[in-house]
Structure 1
Amino acid sequence: MASSAPPVLPISNTQPITVPSAVSGGTAQSQPPIATPAFRSFINNISETVRNGLSQRRPWYELVDRSAFSKPESLSDATLRIRKNYSYFRVNYLSLLAVVLAVSLLTNPLSLILLLGLLAAWLFMYLFRPSDPPLVLFGRAFSERETLGVLIVSTVVVIFLTSVGSVLISALMVGMAIVCAHGAFRVPEDLFLDEQEPAATGFLSFLGGAASNVAASAAPAVAARI
């Protein structure tokens, strides 16, 4: 009686595939393409929180109602008006600040390019970039500490040693002047705030939500570096 041959078991190769490296001339492990689900989640969360924040704005016609403007009787009266109007028009005021800032950056394209480049560098070179393999620029590998140090130094240089800092400060000062002038001359007696409205609503809640979204989106990348 003929004996049957034992079945051949498939052997899986668990060795990493090596490909020639054009930089070092040797071999290097092949890396999968870098996926950025955290970055897409970050963009989606920011868009959603912006829409939620803008949905809480007051009608713009209330902001520009001419019949509601009058000169304040004193400095304390102006301060009280600003406080009340800010509580009511919080989202509208912060939207105006954002518009002034956007116009200032658009009229200074060099500052806008530098700021966008700085933001892109932080997002793609540190926050949403895997810690392995190390960053390689101009034929040199940079460790995580070196990359973070370069980004911090670049941020200081861009903000304080270029026109970006002066443009941002000037835009914020102009926006704050517009908001304070409107709040001081807008009579708030016809405005009715919801007594049960939480203290941090509108764009303040948007800013808090945006910050938490940034932390949540960047958490996997940061945790992988620790």
Structure 2
Amino acid sequence: MSSTAPPVLPISNSQTTAGTTGAGGGAIEAPANNPAFRAFINNLSNSLRHGLDQRRPWSELADRSAFSKPESFSEATLRVRKNFSYFRVNYYAVVSLILAVSLLTNPFSLILLVGLLASWTFLYLFRPSDQPLVILGRTFSDFETLALLSAFTVFVVFLTSVGSVLVSALMLGVAVVCLHGAFRVPEDLFLDDQENSQPTGFLSFLRGPASAAAAAAAAVPTVASRV
């Protein structure tokens, strides 16, 4: 008595790459699977790590024996420039901390700001160029998407408390940095080595990893064309 094996039926895998389907019926790529988003996160992580490696010891920043009143406004300005050149990353950290505390104490502004950043990130910057934005059955072009996001940005920044919170926090952070820089005597700092070895421009500590990530950025021309 012979037995025949059951026929093998072809099985189609209906699971999409992202596991979700958009309003227009097409598959939506998850942000974690987007190569542009991964390259951006890696570049940002490398930049932050490189910047933190350049920070100065906080004990130098808070050394009480190095504080004295400047004799003139020109001397205070010179101190601010020298201290900013040396404590640049520390000052950025202080301003970022003040900004974070201001947003955490204003949860409504924080939610609006996070929503604004998420909208720009996932609806425009890292959305595939061949995948149009579909909302409630209507397809939006890149120009229409940009216009909507710009209008939303103007509304959030100027017509809500987000703008006032950000401006107040930044002004407070700059005031703290200027006061510290004016009263901190920079004579004990190795400014010559610092000025010759590193650039002193705004956020210049991001230039090193940015050049290292140029190859990764070239692999995602869709983001470069949008930005």
Same fold? TM cut 0.5: yes
- Residue 96 of structure 1: aligned partner: 94
CA, structure 1 residues 153+105, in 2 after alignment: closer, same or farther (shift >3 Å)? same
Tell me the percent identity: 62
1:179-198 Cα deviation digits (max 9, x unpaired): 01101111111111205223
Which structure 2 segments of 5+ residues have no match?
1-20
Among residues 97, 114, 118, which one is paired with 1:116 in the alignment? 114
Deviation at 1:207, TM superposition (A): 6.7
Which runs of structure 2 are paired with 1:8-27 in the superposition (5 Å)?
Answer: none
- Residue 75 of structure 1: aligned partner: 73
Aligned length: 202
Structure 1: 4+ residue segments shifted above 3 A: 21-24, 30-35, 200-203, 207-215, 222-226
SS at match of 1:141: strand
CA, structure 1 residues 51+133, in 2 after alignment: closer, same or farther (shift >3 Å)? closer
Deviation at 1:74, TM superposition (A): 1.1
Q: Cα RMSD (Å) of the superposition?
A: 3.1
1:95-151 Cα deviation digits (max 9, x unpaired): 111111111111111111111111111111111111233211122111111111101
Deviation at 1:162, TM superposition (A): 0.9
Task: State the structure with more CA Rg.
Answer: 1
Cα distance in 1 for partners of 2:22, 2:35 equals: 29
- Residue 144 of structure 1: aligned partner: 142
Cα distance in 2 for partners of 1:32, 1:100 equals: 37
C-alpha contact (below 8 Å) 2:50/2:209 kept by paired residues: no
Amino acid at match of 1:106: L
CA, structure 1 residues 171+45, in 2 after alignment: closer, same or farther (shift >3 Å)? same
- Residue 199 of structure 2: aligned partner: 199
Among residues 141, 156, 159, which one is paired with 1:158 in the alignment? 156
CA, structure 1 residues 32+92, in 2 after alignment: closer, same or farther (shift >3 Å)? closer
